[in-house]
């Protein structure tokens, strides 16, 4: 019982998901005396459920394998892990030989992932303790979701953006070289080629004020919800999607090439332009984006994407343009030279 209380105390000492996940896994391992506890996360990727290892705890220590911004190194189909797959399909714990898997269900009966305990078979009391800790972990996840998500669209909110952007810049600063690991943190391995960058895009719904003025705010909210839903469908695992307020959204794209980044933003733009919206019929979005560099200040990254967005707004809207490309072509100089634009 003291171990359970100690773990709960550790969960309440911070608001970072990585810390919460690591404390849970470490506490679970100590609570039941397991040889190993693993936390797997679940995500649907292109219509296929996939899992990856997020945290592993053993008597020797705890290692976090998921920084929340990089592509998981061991992402694989859920169907390839029979025990996890059975737990997902039934919604209850599954055991085999020296392993037992507990599903972690969050709001709206959504499966966040799985806690896998390996070692000697658990007693009935230990199973109850493990399930209690799993449920406490789930409740903390729900609290984090409430504090991090935009209430209308379900996308991440503006406050959370700062956390993820700082995490990306810290990751870039670390580079490819091994560094001394902090408690509960691994030495990160960056598997991305040198031409793979993180990207930031600012997305603005064109003429959105006209929608509110003509059809009312309830229809405007419906448009925002549909655009947010299309963002969730268009972008992939580890891409972070934010609503900044009003009709403005931001995407932090996982490491990829310039061509693939443009393709991702262009596909989303085209999907919005092809969609029929209630009453208002067709809508479009304008997108400005830039890659994230080691030496960047957060405000400068947003400024570059904003400058590209302003250029798009001043040159016909309904485009996805890269700041660096516009700068090289002489279409942009600096923010002070940007023309005044009537957005609506």
* Rounded CA separation 80/52 (Å): 11
* Rounded CA separation 39/176 (Å): 25
Angstrom CA distances, 204 to 61, 209, 213, stand at: 45, 11, 17
Asked whether 206 and 197 are in contact (CB, 8 A), the reply is: no
247 part of the active site: yes
Which one from 80, 247, 248, 266 is the annotated catalytic residue? 247
SS3 336: helix
Counted residue by residue, the chain has a size of 344
Angstrom CA distances, 28 to 46, 136, 161, stand at: 32, 11, 30
CA 325 distance to own-chain centroid: 27
SS3 241: strand
Phi-psi region of 206 (alpha: psi -120 to 50; beta: other; left: phi over 0): beta
The total of other beta-carbon atoms located within 10 Å of residue 4's CB is: 16
**Structure-token match 């998901």, residue found:** 17
* Rounded CA separation 119/33 (Å): 8
User: Over the Cα atoms of the chain, what is R_g?
Assistant: 22
The total of other beta-carbon atoms located within 10 Å of residue 119's CB is: 17
Asked whether 21 and 45 are in contact (CB, 8 A), the reply is: no
The catalytic residues are 247
């Amino acid at each position: 019982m003291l171990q359970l209380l100690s773990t709960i105390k550790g969960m309440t000492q911070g608001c970072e998901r990585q810390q919460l996940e690591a404390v849970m896994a470490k506490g679970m391992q100590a609570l039941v005396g397991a040889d190993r506890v693993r936390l797997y996360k679940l995500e649907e990727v292109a219509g296929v459920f996939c899992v990856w290892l997020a945290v592993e705890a053993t008597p020797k220590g705890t290692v976090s394998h998921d920084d929340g911004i990089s592509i998981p190194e061991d992402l694989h189909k859920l169907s390839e892990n029979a025990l996890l797959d059975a737990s997902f399909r039934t919604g209850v714990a599954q055991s085999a030989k020296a392993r037992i898997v507990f599903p972690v269900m969050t709001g709206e009966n959504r499966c966040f992932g799985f806690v896998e305990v390996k070692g000697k078979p658990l007693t009935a009391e230990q199973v109850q303790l493990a399930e209690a800790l799993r449920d406490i972990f789930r409740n903390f996840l729900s609290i984090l979701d409430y504090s991090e998500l935009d209430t209308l669209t379900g996308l991440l909110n503006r406050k959370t953006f700062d956390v993820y952007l700082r995490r990306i810049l810290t990751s870039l600063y670390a580079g490819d070289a091994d560094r001394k690991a902090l408690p509960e943190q691994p030495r990160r391995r960056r598997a991305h080629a040198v031409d793979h960058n993180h990207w930031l895009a600012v997305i603005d719904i064109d003429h959105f004020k006209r929608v509110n003025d003509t059809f009312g705010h309830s229809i405007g909210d419906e448009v925002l919800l549909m655009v947010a839903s299309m963002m969730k469908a268009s972008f992939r695992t580890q891409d972070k999607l934010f609503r900044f307020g009003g009709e403005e959204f931001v995407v932090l794209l996982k490491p990829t090439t310039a061509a693939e980044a443009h393709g991702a933003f262009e596909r989303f733009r085209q999907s919005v332009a092809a969609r029929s919206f209630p009453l208002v019929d067709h809508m479009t979005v304008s997108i400005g984006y830039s890659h994230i560099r080691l030496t960047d200040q957060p405000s400068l990254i947003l400024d570059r994407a904003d400058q590209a967005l302003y250029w798009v707004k001043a040159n016909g809207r309904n485009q996805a343009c890269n700041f660096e490309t516009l700068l090289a072509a002489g279409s942009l100089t600096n923010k002070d030279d940007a023309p005044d634009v009537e957005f609506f």
